[in-house]
Amino acid sequence: MSDKKDTPPLSIYSSRDELNDERGGLRLDSPADQELRNLFQRWNAPLTPASLDSRIITTYRQQILSQENRQE
Amino acid sequence: MTDERLLERASRGDEAAFLTLYEQYRDVVFRFAYRLLGSQELAEDVAHECFLSLLKQPRRFDPARASLKTYLLAATRNLAMKHFRGVRGLDALEDLAEEPSVPERRGPLHQLLDEELSEEVRRAIDGLPPLQREALLLFEYEELALSEIATVVGADVGTVKARLHRARQRLKRQLAPYFKSNAEEAVVDEVLK
């Protein structure tokens, strides 16, 4: 499993108004809100493990194969 | 090609179409599951089950009701909720009886360590009741609009707003020692000692 961390898709909002308007009218413009938002950016999730890719592809092939067998 | 079309082709055995969809959404599904569950192993299992359910019942996705991203996040959320119900019981979903204690105030110089700060943020968010946590994660990390969050969690927008508000109030109290302004004051205090 990789130790590398990704960067979550936190966009840099060009203005507080943009955040408030586009995300449904939440007022998040106090200094404490900004501080909180900055802290949230510190927590990155790990990269999706390669083991998931191989599990999914195996499952997909089995699923399609069993569908084909049922149809025959 | 639309997600709907890709899904249709994938369910007929077009592996390239499936991989296109999977590669487009695997990170968002895994990341959300990881942040909800706090475990890479559980997140991987949930992400696997999520895509498996899509493969088994592709017609459950209705593009008229939600985007595929929203649908997959809802599926991820429901699978994670099964885990919460098993581990913590239904009562824990909305509120926890006790607010976690404010993390022990460490020396300000330690606050400069990113990993430690990251861990404090993770711990604080992990301490939220699940319904508040999922709303916060979808809003702050997956950048969903309130209406999309409402679709994912099966609640109305007002309820989502209230959960987000409670989550943020709680996190502000808990993480206030790590706010930059407070940290700078603490550094000054320490230097003056």
Q: Please state the length of chain A.
A: 72
Q: Which residue is it, tokens 């239904």? A: B90
Positions of E strands within chain B: none
pTM summary value:
0.78
B178 chain-A contacts, CB cut-off 8 A: 39
> B142-183, pLDDT tens digit by residue?
999 999 999 999 999 999 999 999 999 999 999 998 887 666
What ipTM does this complex have? 0.74
**Closest in B40, B47, B176 to A46, CB measured:** B40
DSSP A30: S
Whether B121 sits inside 8 A of A43 (CB atoms) is yes
Structural tokens at position B78: 């429901």
Tokens 């969690």, residue located: B153
Model confidence over B84-117: pLDDT tens digits?
776 655 445 555 434 444 445 555 555 556 778 8
Contact residues on chain B for A50, CB-CB shorter than 8 A: none
Min distance B179 CA to chain A CA atoms (Å): 6
- Asked if A25 and B164 come within 8 Å (Cβ–Cβ), the reply is no
| Contacts of A19 by beta carbon, 8 Å cutoff, 6+ apart | A13, A26, A28, A29
Give the closest-approach CA distance of B20 to chain A in angstroms.
12
Helix axes B40-56, B68-88, angle to 10 degrees: 130
Least CB–CB distance from B117: residue in A9, A33, A42: A42
Burial (CB count within 10 angstroms: exposed 0-12, middle 13-18, buried 19+), residue A6: middle
Nearest C-alpha of chain A: how many angstroms from B86? 24
Q: Nearest to residue B5, comparing CAs of B148, A58, B18?
A: B18
Per-residue tokens: B80: 């994670």
**Tens digits of residue pLDDT in A17-56:** 444 544 666 677 788 888 899 999 999 999 999 999 999 9
Of the candidates B57, B13, B33, B19, the residue with the CA atom closest to the CA atom of residue A54 = B19
On whether the CB atoms of residues B79 and B43 are closer than 8 A, the answer is no
- Who contacts B57 (Cβ-Cβ below 8 Å, separation ≥6)? none
